[in-house]
């Protein structure tokens, strides 16, 4: 008797991705480049976040043809994005057999109040978070993996750093608390009490937490790993750089050996221009604020 879609199976899948890089791709060719460079998974999209930002309008789930094309092109897992709260998009992606769904603020939310109740799906979900409240609410809804929201498509690491530091700092604060104080902390953060007790006991989140939203260079990836990320998502950073193949490979290496600075210096040499970044006060549409 095989039990599918259990928490162990869904969270375990994310555990296998640890120390790895998940890359955004928009076609089979890019997916192959990503796989060749050593990506642990690819995110199949119609457009990378910086193009979504530039295009404006409503961003939706990708055309299933693209997702299918990518699934047929590589043997590593394929993820795809559904709009926040869009139960139908999520079910469509699940029926296609994608390996992970990102309920993502990069797309225009379908529901401004409620996220998808994710524990009823066989396919695992990853969600973005900026703090322990968002993190634990997503876990309670059934997310099997988390990532920082950062600010997608900007090539600016500042928001991802803020979100990773915030979550890590809150976990440390929680650990130093007396058990009497946890309920008020739960109230202040809108965080499920039982999950906070579990995190306080273990000293970490019960699911892996990757960095995402603004990673553009090997050193950015290494920085996020040092701040406690379990791995990294790179969206526009690879295929919006001058030399995608080289960037992809260098970011994978920097993620594995994030504390080997000589090596990072070596692999960063002559990489060419990274994607053009955006200063935060020039960023009008803050995707990270689309959900909490």
Partner 1 sequence: MTTIGVLALQGAFREHIRSVEASGATAVIIKRKEQLETIDGLIIPGGESTTMRRLIDQYGFLEPIRAFANAGKPVFGTCAGLILLAGEIDGSYDAHLGLMDMSVRRNAFGRQRDSFETDLDIKGVADGYNAVFIRAPYIERVGENTEVLATYDGHIVVAQEDHLLACSFHPELTKDHRLTAHFVSMVENSKRTLAS
Residues that bind partner 1 (CB under 8 A): 1-6, 8-10, 12-13, 15-20, 35, 37-41, 75-77, 94, 97-100, 122-124, 252-253, 256-257
* Residue with Cβ nearer partner 1 (96 or 177): 96
**Could you tell me the two tokens for 92?**
């469509």
The minimum distance between CB 285 and partner 1, in angstroms, equals 32
From the CB of 91, what's the least distance to partner 1, in Å?
12
Quote the least distance from Cβ 259 to partner 1, whole Å. 10
> Do 81 and 105 meet the contact criterion of CB atoms below 8 Å apart?
no
The minimum distance between CB 198 and partner 1, in angstroms, equals 15
Q: Where are the alpha helices (DSSP H) in 142-243?
A: 158-176, 182-189, 193-202, 218-226, 236-239
Helix (H), strand (E) at residue 53: helix 49-55
Active-site pick, 10, 81, 118, 149: 81
* Nearer residue to partner 1 within complex by CB, 75 or 176: 75
Least distance (Å) from partner 1 to the CB of residue 232? 12
24 is in an annotated binding site: yes
81 catalytic residue (yes or no): yes
What angle, 0 to 180 degrees and rounded to 10, lies between the N-to-C axes of helices 64-73 and 28-37? 40
Query: 203 a known binding residue?
Result: no
CB closer to partner 1 out of 18 and 187 = 18
What lies within 8 Å, CB to CB, of 192 at 6+ separation is: 136, 137, 139, 140, 186
**How many C-beta atoms lie closer than 10 Å to residue 31's C-beta?**
25
153 known ligand binder: yes
Closest CA to 27 of 11, 46, 14, 9: 46
Q: Residue 125: what are its φ and ψ, rounded to 5°?
A: -120, 145
Own/partner pairs, 169-178, CB within 8 angstroms, 24+ separation: 170/131, 170/132, 171/132, 171/199, 171/203, 171/204, 171/205, 174/132, 174/199, 174/200, 175/200, 175/203
Of 1 and 113, the one with the shorter C-beta distance to partner 1 is: 1
Nearer to partner 1, 182 or 211 (CB): 211
Three-state DSSP state, 268: helix
235 annotated as ligand-binding: yes
The closest of 272, 238, 263 to 35, measured between CA atoms, is: 238
The span from the CA of 222 to the CA of 257, in Å, is 8
In the annotated binding site for D-ribose 5-phosphate, the residues are 24, 153, 214, 235-236
In the annotated binding site, the residues are 24, 153, 165, 214, 235-236
In the annotated binding site for D-glyceraldehyde 3-phosphate, the residues are 165
Annotated catalytic residues are 81
């Amino acid at each position: 008797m095989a039990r599918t879609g259990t928490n162990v199976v869904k969270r375990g899948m994310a555990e296998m991705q640890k120390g790895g890089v998940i890359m955004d791709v928009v076609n089979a060719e890019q997916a192959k480049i990503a796989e060749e460079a050593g990506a642990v998974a690819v995110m199949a999209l119609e457009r990378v976040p910086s193009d979504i930002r530039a295009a404006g309008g409503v961003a939706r789930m990708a055309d299933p043809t693209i997702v299918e094309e990518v699934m047929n092109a590589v043997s590593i897992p394929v993820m795809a994005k559904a709009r926040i709260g869009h139960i139908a998009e999520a079910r469509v992606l699940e029926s296609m057999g994608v390996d992970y769904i990102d309920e993502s603020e990069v797309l225009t939310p379908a529901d401004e109040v409620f996220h998808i109740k994710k524990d009823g799906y066989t396919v695992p979900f990853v969600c973005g978070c900026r703090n322990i409240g968002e993190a634990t609410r997503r876990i309670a809804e059934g997310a099997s993996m988390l990532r920082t929201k950062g600010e997608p498509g900007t090539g600016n690491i500042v928001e991802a750093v803020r979100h990773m530091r915030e979550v890590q700092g809150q976990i440390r604060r929680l650990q130093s608390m007396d058990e009497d104080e946890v309920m008020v902390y739960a109230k202040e953060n809108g965080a499920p009490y039982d999950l906070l007790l579990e995190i306080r006991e273990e000293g970490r989140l019960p699911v892996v937490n990757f960095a995402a939203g603004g990673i553009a260079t090997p050193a950015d990836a290494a920085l996020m790993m040092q701040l406690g990320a379990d791995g990294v998502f790179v969206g526009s950073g690879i295929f919006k750089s001058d030399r995608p193949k080289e960037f992809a490979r260098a970011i994978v290496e920097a993620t594995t050996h994030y504390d080997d600075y000589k090596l990072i210096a070596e692999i960063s040499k002559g990489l060419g221009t990274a994607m053009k970044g955006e200063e935060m006060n020039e960023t009008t549409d803050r995707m990270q604020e689309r959900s909490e």
